[in-house]
């Protein structure tokens, strides 16, 4: 059962995002990106207040490097659609289980990002989750 509303076009959009942001990180890396995206829709806090749909999340200004810099042009393949569906259905995987931010630094992961604590690194991406005081919704179970 979906934890956010998603039409077929939303699933395709999410799948394209996973491919563009983390294809080189493999299945697990793409699933982690999906977790962050769904968390942003559900969180309703910090920079993500008012996000309610997958298109709002994907096209939020300055949110995803791939969308900003033109890597977001490839079609969604069945592999990415399956991963997007898993994220939309609420599958959460550490270190993105509660994360709202990730990025790919040139070196080590900073201890905080946008004031939020570092959780862990997966391959080239660093993941950050809010405290329960700043974004309690992200910790709610589905």
Q: Which pLDDT tens digit goes with each residue over 4-52?
A: 999 999 999 999 999 999 999 999 999 999 999 999 999 999 899 999 9
**CA atoms in the 13 A half-sphere facing the CB of 90:** 10
Tell me what pLDDT residue 115 has: 87
> What span, in angstroms and rounded, lies between the C-alpha atoms of 90 and 80?
16
Check: CB of residue 65 under 8 Å from CB of residue 114. Answer: no
- Please tell me the pTM assigned to this model: 0.94
Buried b or exposed e, range 122-141, using 16+ CB within 10 angstroms = beebbbbbbeeeebeebeee
Where are the domains positioned within the chain?
Answer: 8-139
**CA atoms in the 13 A half-sphere facing the CB of 29:** 17
Calculate mean pLDDT across residues 42-70: 90
Q: What is the CATH code for 8-139?
A: 1.10.10.2520
Residue 138 Cα distances to 7, 57, 102, angstroms? 23, 15, 15
Check: CB of residue 128 under 8 Å from CB of residue 100. Answer: yes
Per-residue tokens: 21: 């942001």
How far from the centroid of its chain's Cα atoms is residue 10's Cα? Answer: 14
> What span, in angstroms and rounded, lies between the C-alpha atoms of 22 and 2?
22
């Amino acid at each position: 059962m979906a934890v956010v509303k998603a039409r077929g076009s939303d699933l395709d959009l999410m799948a394209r995002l996973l491919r563009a942001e983390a294809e080189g990180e493999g299945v697990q890396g793409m699933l982690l990106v999906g977790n962050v995206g769904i968390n942003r829709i559900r969180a309703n806090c910090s920079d993500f207040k008012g996000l309610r749909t997958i298109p709002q999340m994907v096209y939020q200004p300055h949110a995803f490097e791939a969308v900003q810099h033109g890597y977001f042009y490839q079609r969604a393949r069945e592999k990415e659609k399956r991963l997007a569906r898993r994220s939309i259905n609420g599958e959460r995987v550490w270190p993105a289980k509660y994360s709202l931010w990730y990025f790919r630094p040139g070196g080590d992961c900073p201890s905080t990002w946008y004031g939020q604590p570092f959780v862990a690194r997966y391959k080239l991406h660093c993941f950050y989750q809010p405290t329960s005081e700043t974004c309690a919704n992200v910790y709610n179970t589905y």
